[in-house]
Amino acid sequence: MNQAVLFMLLLLGVGVLARNQTLIIAVAALLILHYTGAGSQAFPFLQANGIKIGVTIITIAVLIPIMTGEIGLAELQAAMGSSYAWIALASGIFVAVIAANGIELLQNDPHITVALVVGTILAVAVFGGVAVGPVIGAGIAYLAMRVVQFFSTLGGG
């Protein structure tokens, strides 16, 4: 058993202990692809396109209430009369912009994903958090890194 499989089994165990269904399914799928021999073809494709596919699926899920008629222009107009709706609108914009930077970070520094997964698992298991996914986590990490970088350049002259 190689180091990658051991690491995946460790993540599977942590996912089970933390009751993180997303992690369990992801690890199981990757192990199945690996052991069936499909990984050599699937892994490069998923690594190159997985985040885009995932974001597309999330976008579809978010748009379903509009398509089913649960949310229409009348609901949008009514909601915009509330200050909370404007806060939610601004938050949605802010999070989407941060997440875009997170995608870039994950694509350029894939090793960051491991730290994000471990941090998410700890938050779920220890602090009762909710797994929001690596994209927004990476976006927040990106933002924090830029803040640290900014202040480092101030101090370094």
Cα distance between residue 60 and residue 47, in whole Å: 21
pLDDT tens per residue across span 41-96 = 999 999 889 888 988 998 899 999 999 999 999 998 888 888 888 998 899 899 88
Nearest Cα residue to 120 out of 29, 7, 23: 23
- The whole-model pTM stands at 0.69
Domain boundaries, the chain: 73-157
